[in-house]
Amino acid sequence: MKKFHYIITSLILCFVAQACIENDLSYPDVHVEIEKIDLEGMENYSVDYSTHVISVLLGEQAEISAVRVNEFILAEKCSVVGKMPAYLDLSEPYKFKMKYYLPEDWTIIAAQPIERYIKCEGQISDAVIDVDSKYAYVKIADTQNLGAITVNDMKLEPEGSVVQYTIGNVPINGEIHTVMEECSFPMTMDCSVSRIFRVLYKGQMIEWTVTFLSQPVAVGMTLVNPWTYSADVEGVTNGQGKTAFQYRKNGEESWIDFTEISYTGTTARATITGLEEATDYQVRLTNGTDNSDILDFRTGDAVQLENMSFDNWHQADPKNTWYPFAEGGEMIWGTANPGTNKVKTENPTRPETEHVVKGTAARMQSIKVLGVFAAGNLFTGEFAKFDFSAMTAYLKWGTPFKGRPYSLKGYYDYAPKTIDVTQDKVSGKPNPYKNLLGSTDNMQILVVLFADDDKNQGPYDVLSTKPGEPDLQTDSRVIAYGAIESPENTGGQYKEFECVLKYRDNRIPDYAIVVACSSLRGDFFTGGTGSVLYVDEFRFEYK
> Is residue 32 a contact partner of residue 100, using CB atoms and an 8 Å limit?
yes
Report the range out of 14-18, 83-87, 467-471 with the highest average pLDDT: 83-87
CB neighbours (10 Å) of residue 228?
23
| Residue 426 contacts residue 467 (beta carbons within 8 Å) | yes
DSSP class of residue 17 equals H
239-269 in b/e form (b: 16+ CB < 10 A) is beeebbbbbeeeeeeebeebeebeeebbbbe
Position with higher pLDDT, 32 vs 115: 115
Pairing of strands 295-298, 280-286: antiparallel
Cα separation, 211 vs 196, whole angstroms: 9
Complete domains list, the chain, with CATH: 32-99 (no CATH), 125-215 (2.60.40), 229-298 (2.60.40), 314-541 (2.60.120.890)
- pLDDT tens-digit map of 107-129: 999 999 999 999 999 899 899 99
The predicted structure's pLDDT at residue 390: 58
What 3-state DSSP class applies to 522?
Answer: helix
Question: What are 189-233's pLDDT values in tens digits?
Answer: 999 999 999 999 999 999 999 999 999 999 999 999 999 999 999
Contact 441, 529 (CB under 8 A): no
384 and 410 Cβ atoms separated by less than 8 Å: no
Mean pLDDT across the chain, nearest whole number?
A: 89
Q: What is the pLDDT of residue 11?
A: 41
pLDDT per position as a tens digit, 337-362: 887 777 677 899 999 999 999 999 99
pLDDT average, residue stretch 510-536: 94
What value, to the nearest 5°, has the Cα angle with vertex 422 and ends 493 and 445?
35
Q: 186 with 151: CB under 8 angstroms? A: yes
Look at residue 246 and tell me whether its pLDDT is greater than 80: yes
Q: How confident is the model at residue 265 (pLDDT cuts 50, 70, 90)?
A: confident
Return the pLDDT at 25: 42
Helix (H, G, I), strand (E, B) or coil at 19: helix
Tallying the residues shown for the chain, one arrives at: 543
pLDDT confidence tier of residue 17, bands split at 50, 70 and 90: very low
- Rounded distance between C-alpha atoms, residue 534 and residue 128, angstroms: 52
Q: Is the dihedral of CA 356, 360, 365, 370 positive or negative?
A: positive
Report pLDDT for 461.
Answer: 85
What span, in angstroms and rounded, lies between the C-alpha atoms of 514 and 483?
Answer: 10
Phi, psi at 430, each rounded to 5°: -55, 135
The closest of 325, 322, 378, 329 to 350, measured between CA atoms, is 322
DSSP-derived secondary structure letter, 291:
B
Q: What is the band of 22 on the pLDDT scale with cuts at 50, 70, 90?
A: very low
For residue 15, give the 3-state DSSP assignment. helix
Judged against a pLDDT cut of 80, whether residue 392 lies above it is answered with: no
The pLDDT, as a whole number, for residue 391 is: 55
Q: Is 390 helix (H, G, I), strand (E, B) or coil?
A: coil
What is the pLDDT at residue 31?
A: 74
The DSSP line for 424-480 is SEETTEE-TTGGGTTSBP-EEEEEEEE---SS--SSEEEETTSTT-S-TTT-TTEEE
Rounded Cα distance, 361 and 340, in Å: 21
How confident is residue 20, by pLDDT bands cut at 50, 70 and 90?
very low
Task: Give me the pLDDT at residue 395, please.
Answer: 84
Indicate if the pLDDT at residue 35 is higher than 90.
no
pLDDT tens, residue by residue, 270-326: 999 999 999 999 999 999 999 999 999 999 999 999 999 999 999 987 778 999 999
Closest CA to 437 of 410, 419, 457: 419
Q: Is the pLDDT of residue 4 over 70?
A: no
Amino acid identity of residue 340, one-letter, is T
Lowest mean pLDDT among 16-25, 94-103, 370-379: 16-25
> Do residues 11 and 421 touch, judged by C-beta distance below 8 A?
no
Task: Specify the pTM.
Answer: 0.76
**What percentage of residues in the chain have a pLDDT greater than 70?**
92
Map residue 211 onto helix, strand or coil.
Answer: strand
Give buried/exposed letters for 7-27 (b at 16+ CB in 10 A, else e).
bbbbbbbbbbbeeeeeeeeee
At 15 the pLDDT is 39
Instruction: Give the end-to-end CA distance of the chain in Å, rounded to a whole number.
Output: 27
* pLDDT tens digits for range 406-459: 999 999 999 999 999 988 887 777 888 888 899 999 999 999 999 998 877 888
pLDDT at 468 over 80: no
94 and 55 Cβ atoms separated by less than 8 Å: no
Q: What is the DSSP letter of 290?
A: -
pLDDT band at 5 (very low <50, low <70, confident <90, very high): very low
Q: What are phi and psi of 115, to 5 degrees?
A: -80, 125
Dihedral angle at the C-alpha atoms of 344, 350, 352, 355, nearest 10 degrees?
A: 80
Contact status, residue 246 vs residue 256, Cβ threshold 8 Å = yes
Q: What is the pLDDT of residue 457?
A: 86
User: H or E stretch including 256?
Assistant: strand 256-258
Q: Return the pLDDT at 205.
A: 97
